Amino acid sequence: MSIEIKISKKRISYKTAMLYLNKRVQEVKIEKNRELLWILEHPTTYTAGVSFNKKEIIDKKIKLIKSNRGGKITLHNPGQKIIYFVIDLNKKKKDIRKLINVLEKSLIQFLKSYKIKANTDRKNIGIWVNGKKIAAIGIRVSRWVAFHGCSINISNNLNQYLKIIPCGLNNKKITSIFKETGDIPKNFEKKLADIFVKNINHI
């Protein structure tokens, strides 16, 4: 079965998205539903992956939502796009490193279409532009079903990163498409989805 592509125009709360995502994971495990690629935005939300440290919270007033994804503390806010997925690696190569490579490749290809030269970093997961992080990746795998996803900064407020130490970085090491080019991409969701689906199908 082909991957279902879901593009949400309205902002979706993190908790609502997680309920939907976790339900789909269970359905994919028992072959009751298709794999999923879901592009959306969250309202301003701070989430903590399984390896986060409380020392990474600078503003103690923020509300932090704990997540079962890999990684540390991060920010989701308007102007940042989230690419969630549920991928059944039982029907592909059971290779998590290969999956991460495909996610990295997809983000780099998307950024290249806006004339942004991005790269990976051996020591730090994610996508980087001149030493600044523009996209994050956090996944979880259960019985070879991979889920959670990626976030890419399009035109979001980077100052909100000042309330945390995202992935051990300060906000001077965070960037966005708008910060790099001065332009805000429009109606790019289908292009983004197509790049991801094409690459995921080659796992």
In CATH, what number is assigned to the domain containing residue 150?
A: 3.30.930.10
pLDDT tens-place string over residues 77-136: 999 999 999 999 998 889 999 999 999 999 999 999 999 999 998 878 899 999 999 999
Mean pLDDT throughout 19-28? 96
Which helix H or strand E contains 27, and what residues bound it? Answer: helix 14-29
pLDDT at 202: 84
CB-based burial label for 196 (10 Å; 0-12, 13-18, 19+) = buried
Bridge partners, residue 147, by sequence: 86, 140
Q: SS3 of 116, please?
A: coil
pLDDT band at 55 (very low <50, low <70, confident <90, very high): confident
The pLDDT assigned to 167 comes to 66
Question: Does the active-site annotation cover 150?
Answer: no
Give 67's pLDDT tier (boundaries 50, 70, 90): confident
User: What is the distance between the alpha carbons of residues 135 and 137, in angstroms, rounded to a whole number?
Assistant: 7
What does the alpha-carbon distance between residue 133 and residue 10 come to, in Å, rounded to a whole number? 26
Distance, in Å, from the CA atom of 152 to the CA atom of 31, rounded to the nearest integer, reads 30
Q: Which residues of 148-187 are buried (b: 16+ CB within 10 A; e: fewer)?
A: bbbbbbbbbebebbebbbbbebebeebbbbbebeeeebee
Give backbone dihedrals phi and psi of 60, rounded to 5 degrees, phi first: -70, -5
Residue 168 confidence (pLDDT) above 80: no
Q: What is the pairing mode between strands 36-40 and 4-7?
A: parallel
Which pairing describes strands 64-66 and 45-48: parallel, antiparallel, or unpaired?
parallel
Q: What is the mean pLDDT of the chain?
A: 92
Q: Tell me the residue ranges of DSSP E strands in the chain.
A: 4-7, 36-40, 45-48, 64-66, 73-76, 80-88, 127-129, 132-142, 145-153
At 170, the pLDDT band (50, 70, 90 cuts) reads low
By residue count, the chain amounts to 203
Range of the domain at 152: 4-200
Q: How many domains does the chain have?
A: 1
Question: Which one of 3, 111, 167, 195 is the catalytic residue?
Answer: 167
pTM equals 0.93
Position 171 pLDDT exceeds 70: no
